[in-house]
Amino acid sequence: MRQSLYLAIGLILYIVLNTNLFAEQIQLDPQLKRYIKSSGITGNLSTIGSDTLAGLMAFWAERFKNYYPSVNVQIQIPGSSAAPPALIENTANLGPMSRKMKGGEISAFKKKYGYDPLPIRVAIDAMAVYVNKDNPIREMTLDQVDAIFSATRKCGYPNNIAYWGEVGLTNKWVTRGIQLFGKSSASGTYGYFKEKALCGGDFKDTINEQPGSGSVVQGISASLNGIGYSGIGYNSIGVHPVALAVHIGAPYIAATSENAITNQYPLARFLYIYVNKPPHQNLPPLEEEFLKMILSKTGQQLVIKGGYTPLNSIIVNQELTKLNTE
């Protein structure tokens, strides 16, 4: 567990030291309310799940401990697929996920407890397709992305793409082979990219699978021919994201917070924390206060610090209502 916490802290340092975060200035919704400290909050809080959310969980945990010094927060980040079994077996209080739970995961939880797990939206992410900073390409269509990463090309592109010249680059780039970077199948980011960018198809077996989001970006930074996918919060000086169009002739949309929150960017997604909350019952105070802090002005400011897009007050109020009534 200590090793997982150190890894989360290391990811934060990677973001802070190597990331542009957002070039744009993100503004919080002025209707978000500040967090008000409660009394009697103590104990241990365990979180197991998404690597994408690792930096945010560590930011939130650090701020929460400022409010409640006696609270101990343990963070493990094996990937989103680890969250459902951790909640089912009660080895974690919180299950951060960069995707929605699958039907089988929900069924397994419901089989044990008799009700569904509760998803709480905590931030918005634009999943970026990154290339090396020295790569001149700036735009791609989603079917081209599929033809680069997928062996099945279910999005409809007519040919496999293995060289940079096949996506329009010229001169020395024509014969440069494309080097692929991605995440393991335990990652929610892997599952989301497979569904949305590959139209549910299969990845090529030549992808260099990396243990985390930061590792994907570092690999692309070190490879002139590299391309990979990761959250926009991991944008760094060694890479740049390409703008994406849903098809030829459609506008190319940049991976920015503004385009994510308006749902214009085709690979925008919510990030979640799942909890075990019986219907019409309150969460334990420790879990409830942690989530309330995340959904406050304070917690959403940390979303920006982590390089992601904060929720607006409408979504926050919807999530707070879940905590109070479901």
8 Å CB contact between 304 and 310: yes
Q: Which two tokens stand for residue 165?
A: 């010249």
CA 87 to mean position of chain CA atoms: 19
Q: Which two tokens stand for residue 132?
A: 């090396």
The predicted pLDDT at position 25 comes to: 54
Q: 138, 146, 156, 155: which is closest to 180 by C-alpha? A: 146
Domains of the chain, with CATH numbers?
Answer: 2-124+270-325 (3.40.190.10), 126-268 (3.40.190.10)
8 Å CB contact between 186 and 176: no
Query: Cα-atom radius of gyration of the chain, to the nearest Å?
Result: 20
How many residues are listed for the chain in this entry? Answer: 326
The predicted pLDDT at position 257 comes to: 83
8 Å CB contact between 245 and 141: yes
State the pairing for strand pair 43-48/118-132: unpaired
The predicted pLDDT at position 22 comes to: 41
8 Å CB contact between 71 and 77: no
The predicted pLDDT at position 261 comes to: 84
The predicted pLDDT at position 325 comes to: 60
Distance CA 257, CA 238 (A): 20
Q: pTM, whole model, 2 decimals? A: 0.85
Could you please report the per-residue DSSP string of 138-163?
-EEEHHHHHHHHBSS-TT--SS---B
| C-alpha torsion sign, points 2, 99, 249, 141 | positive
One pLDDT digit (tens) per residue for the chain, 326 residues: 444 444 444 444 444 444 444 434 578 999 999 999 999 999 999 999 999 999 999 999 999 999 999 999 999 999 999 999 999 999 999 999 999 999 999 999 999 999 999 999 999 999 999 999 999 999 999 999 999 999 999 999 999 999 999 999 999 999 999 999 999 888 899 999 999 999 999 999 999 999 888 999 999 999 999 999 999 888 999 999 999 999 999 999 999 888 998 889 999 999 999 999 999 899 999 999 999 999 999 999 999 998 899 999 999 999 999 998 64
The predicted pLDDT at position 324 comes to: 86
Q: 16, 118, 88: which is closest to 59 by C-alpha? A: 16
